[in-house]
Amino acid sequence: MSWTQSEARRRKRRYEEYHYERHALKPGNLFPVSHGSRSADVNTADEIDRVDSRPSFVIMIYPGPLGIPDVLPANAPPAFLLSANDDECCSPPVMKLLQRYRDAKIPVEAHIYAHGSHAFNMGNRSKLVSIKGWPQRLADWLADNHLLDVR
């Protein structure tokens, strides 16, 4: 099992234990997602391994070009993709991922801003109104898809 699968399970378990909002958007609650996340193993002695490591959704902000699968698995989580068109590194992967999600018929939303370059973070330092507003686009996507609803 990869570190990210173990970490995903550990965090999900803590959410359940302390009744946290599972998808609260705080930096400490976001974690990397590995390909090939596994289902929970209900027969294991390790309580962490009994928690499914598949994320409920993924947020990819200027994703790099490495690790883009040729085909997405049928159970891939919905995705929010974002980059700036003038980011030579990360706008092509957004376009590739968008097409992979479309081909797999898995929900996806992509935003490619005309300007902003790379590493615009939460947009606070940018002079561009569109870049300053991207966190709200993410919040809208999460709300529209009921991804933060308490289950």
Sequence spans of domains, the chain: 1-54, 56-151
- CATH assignment of 56-151, among 3.20.20.10, 3.40.50.20, 3.40.50.1820, 3.10.450.50: 3.40.50.1820
b/e map 5-42, b = 16+ CB within 10 Å: beebbebbeebeeeeeebbeeeeeeeeebbeebeeeee
Q: Is the pTM of this model over 0.85?
A: no
Quick: pLDDT tens for 92-134: 999 999 999 999 999 999 999 999 999 888 888 899 999 999 9
Among 110, 8, 96, residue whose Cα is nearest residue 59? 110
pLDDT of residue 139 exceeding 90, the answer is yes
Q: What 3-state DSSP class applies to 5? A: helix
Burial of 141 (0-12, 13-18, 19+ CB in 10 A): buried
Quick: pLDDT tens for 21-48: 444 443 333 334 333 445 556 676 777 6
